[in-house]
Amino acid sequence: MKIKYTKKRLRVNLILGLIWLVLGVLKWGFDHFDFWLDYYPLVLAFLYLALYLFELQNQYLNIVEDLIKKNYPFGKQIHLPDVTRIKKYAGDYILLTDKSKMKIDTQIIDPDCLKKLKRVLADLNLSPDKTPFTTSVQYTSLSKS
Tens-place pLDDT, residues 123-145: 888 888 888 877 544 444 454 44
CA 35 from chain center: how many Å?
38
In this predicted structure, what is the pLDDT of residue 135? Answer: 57
CB 104, CB 76: distance < 8 Å = no
**pTM check: above 0.85:** no
Strand order from edge to edge, sheet including 92-96: 85-89, 92-96, 101-104
Whether 117 has a pLDDT exceeding 60, the answer reads yes
CA 137 from chain center: how many Å?
32
In this predicted structure, what is the pLDDT of residue 145? Answer: 45
In this predicted structure, what is the pLDDT of residue 128? Answer: 80
d(CA 91, CA 114): 12
Lowest mean pLDDT among 33-47, 90-104, 124-138: 124-138
Lowest mean pLDDT among 27-31, 68-72, 116-120: 27-31
The residue-averaged pLDDT of 58-64 equals 93
Whether 36 has a pLDDT exceeding 70, the answer reads yes
Whether 76 has a pLDDT exceeding 50, the answer reads yes
Q: What backbone phi and psi angles, to 5 degrees, belong to 104? A: -115, 115
With bands split at pLDDT 50, 70 and 90, how would you rate the model's confidence at 107?
very high
Q: Is 63 left (phi over 0), alpha (psi -120 to 50) or beta?
A: beta
Highest mean pLDDT among 4-13, 19-28, 63-72: 4-13
d(CA 130, CA 86): 6
d(CA 86, CA 36): 48
In this predicted structure, what is the pLDDT of residue 137? Answer: 45
